Structure 1
Amino acid sequence: MENTQPGAVRGHAVDHRQLAVALIDISSDVRRKSHENAGIPLLPNGMVDIMRVIESQPGITVAEVATRLDRQFSNVSTQLRELVARGLVTRIRDAADKRYVTLHPTEESQRIRTLLETAWAEALGAAAAKLRPEEQEQLAGSLPALQRLAVLIGEPS
């Protein structure tokens, strides 16, 4: 009998709770280990999230970042002040309307992103090398679906 549950694959239901827990555990450990191995000052996860949004959408506003991350404007604004002070984000005021400010990544931000993404890949690669060959194939085969899932979950509700 075929399983018709949402998320069912070839008669097997995807346990979204277990998937979510695994992804969060992987994310937490990869971020922690990558900062240790990249030789860069530890950035709180919230700041890394803000930097990633700004890098993916240069010219975004503070309000748009807050909406995208589903955070309070004041909290994002506070973390942005720290990112600007660290030289990782620049604020550019609109010439016509000085109240309108856009956010842009700096070269240092892009350098740190490259270091972090390399360290993330190394942490995952070291762990994946310990998987059985069939598990490595499953992992490789799941990448397109996980990338698409990341896009879909990042969209506004």
Structure 2
Amino acid sequence: MQNAPATADPRPLDSRELAVALMDISADVRRKSHEGTGVPALSNAAFDIVRVVESNPGITVAELATRLGRQLSNVSTQLKELVIRGLITRKHDPADKRFVALHPTEESLGIKTVLETAWSDAVSKGASQLTEDEREQLRASVPALRHLAEILGREADRSGQ
């Protein structure tokens, strides 16, 4: 059960404004922080696949397609590239060869660490130009944003079932 805020803000959440701000931040952080990392470029579609597999080792191709809201054939094609590049492995179930579990490789996990550090640096650099009150508002918003991401992820899973 979630605790209600001590003082509720009477203003409604502007979901459109929040969504646009999050998309702008995401695009800028990804674009600006990739330079100088030495990490080979990936398309957004391939990058999304890698992130989902890293967060859900053992996920199947069908589950991955559902989670991403994409056609199975498109995901399969992109997975072939990622396997060739050494970022994802496919492991067949010995009992049922049709069942394939996807796992990140050590290289993929290393890239994740490099990129997450670069993202953090980019956000820190931008946040240093905010007021202390604005930085505190951002710190306080992280749990709610993580919870929102979890909810949206679950909804994506349910919509594909």
- TM-score normalised to structure 1 length: 0.91
Q: Secondary structure at the match of 1:93?
A: strand
Gaps of 5+ in 1: 1-8
Find out whether 1:63 has 2:59 as its counterpart.
Answer: no
Q: Which residue of 1 aligns with 2:3?
A: none
Q: Which residue of 2 aligns with 1:137?
A: 136
Give the corresponding residue for 1:117.
116
Q: Which aligned runs of 4 or more in structure 1 are off by greater than 4 angstroms?
A: none
Q: Output the amino acid matched with 1:37.
A: G
The answer as to 2:41 corresponding to 1:42 is yes
- The residue correspondences of 1:84-103 to structure 2 (distance < 5 A) are 84-103=83-102
Once residues 82 and 35 of structure 1 are traced to their aligned partners in structure 2, the CA distance between those partners, rounded to angstroms, is: 20
**Is the 1:91–1:102 contact (alpha carbons within 8 Å) kept by the matching residues of 2?**
yes
> Structure with the greater relative contact order (CA < 8 A, sep ≥ 6): 1 or 2?
2
Q: Give, as a single letter, the amino acid of the residue that structure 2 aligns with 1:112.
A: I
Q: CA RMSD in A?
A: 1.0
Q: CA deviation at 1:55?
A: 1.1
Alignment deviations for residues 51-76 of structure 1 (CA, whole Å, 9 cap, x no partner): 11111111111110000111111111
Structure 2 gaps, min length 5: 1-7
Q: CA deviation at 1:37?
A: 3.4
For 1:31 and 1:72, the matched residues in 2 are separated by 25
Whether contact under 8 Å (1:35, 1:41) holds in the other structure is: no
Corresponding residue number in structure 1 for 2:11: 12
User: For residues 105 and 10 of structure 2, what CA distance do their matches in structure 1 show?
Assistant: 48
- For residues 96 and 134 of structure 1, what CA distance do their matches in structure 2 show? 57
- Provide the identity percentage: 61
1:37–1:119 contact (8 Å) kept in structure 2: no
What residue in structure 1 maps to residue 79 of structure 2?
Answer: 80
The corresponding residue for 2:26 is: 27
The alignment covers a number of residue pairs equal to 149
3-state SS, counterpart of residue 101 of structure 2? strand
Deviation at 1:40, TM superposition (A): 0.9
Matches of 2:71 and 2:145, distance apart in 1: 28
Deviations 1:46-98 (A, max 9, x none): 11111111111111111100001111111111110110010000011111222
